[in-house]
Amino acid sequence: MSDTASFQTILYRRDGPVAEIRFNRPHRLNAVVSAFYGEILSALDLAEKDDDVRVVVLTGEGRAFCVGADLKEHGAGSRSELEKLEYLTLGNDVCERIYKFPKVVIAAVNGYALGAGAEMSCAVDFILMKESAQIGFPEISIGTHVGGAVTEILPRLVGLAKAKELIFTGRRIDGAEAQAIGLATRVFPDESFAAEVAAFAALIAAKAPISLRFAKQHLNDLHQDYGSRLVTEINALRTCMLSEDWQEGVDAFAQKRSPVFKGR
């Protein structure tokens, strides 16, 4: 089953258990404006409320994923200080929403992912890149600063020294290097990218949704000590064992078949 919703700056489509949010400002290389952020948040709300959605894929229309802020709009200088703050807060809200989203989020980086595009990518669970795609953090090079908690997340992904190099120099890296340093999970040939992303999303979407939610929550929360984590993991396990999906997993294992999870 496939569902769509109408937006101005993005395209939203659900195909089975996978919802796709496609950035749709190709004439500006999917550069960010305030409405763009607002519609991403609305689309994420749709995906969260839809029990059939297990995985969300973020990608871009055209030759870019997202090249960051629309500098043409910024250069117009027509916004008040309050409007600028609201825009910056929206950017953080989007990254936080992605990072804390209760379902798995994948960034399918089909082209340039720069600035805000790279920040949103850092907030997801998996970055999948085209071989020809590039990702980078040019903020310092143009006199601004990274957002979206990149200075918290990026060092965990690539190490502190490499994170400093990427942010301080602003250089772009391709898919192969992004995978080599631990930023990208997979890199696929350009010609098979869409099919490979779909296959990866389907692989994750077939897993038990309740279990995935707990796993993401625990893996993203680095502030618990060892003893506390033992307790919260036991609580998660007990909740899973009370679900229909747990019984389905046990039955499928005994019957030597693939489980069909329902998120209950």
Query: Cα torsion for 196, 45, 39, 167, to the nearest 10°?
Result: -60
pLDDT at res. 222: 82
* Residue 140 to residue 138: CA distance in whole angstroms: 6
Return the structure tokens found at 82.
């309050």
pLDDT for residue 139 is more than 80:
yes
Say which of 20, 81, 119, 233 is annotated catalytic.
119
* 83-136 pLDDT tens trace: 777 878 899 999 999 999 999 999 999 999 999 999 999 999 999 999 999 999
pLDDT at res. 79: 67
Domains along the chain with CATH numbers: 2-205 (3.90.226.10), 209-254 (1.10.12)
pLDDT at res. 224: 83
Global pTM value: 0.92
Say which of 139, 165, 191, 244 is annotated catalytic.
139
* 165-178 pLDDT tens trace: 999 999 999 999 99
> Please, what sign has the CA dihedral across residues 63, 65, 71, 74?
positive
Is 139 a residue of the active site? yes
* 6-15 pLDDT tens trace: 899 999 999 9
Is 86 a residue of the active site? no
- DSSP letter at 6? -
The 10 Å Cβ neighbour count of residue 201 is 25
pLDDT at res. 114: 96
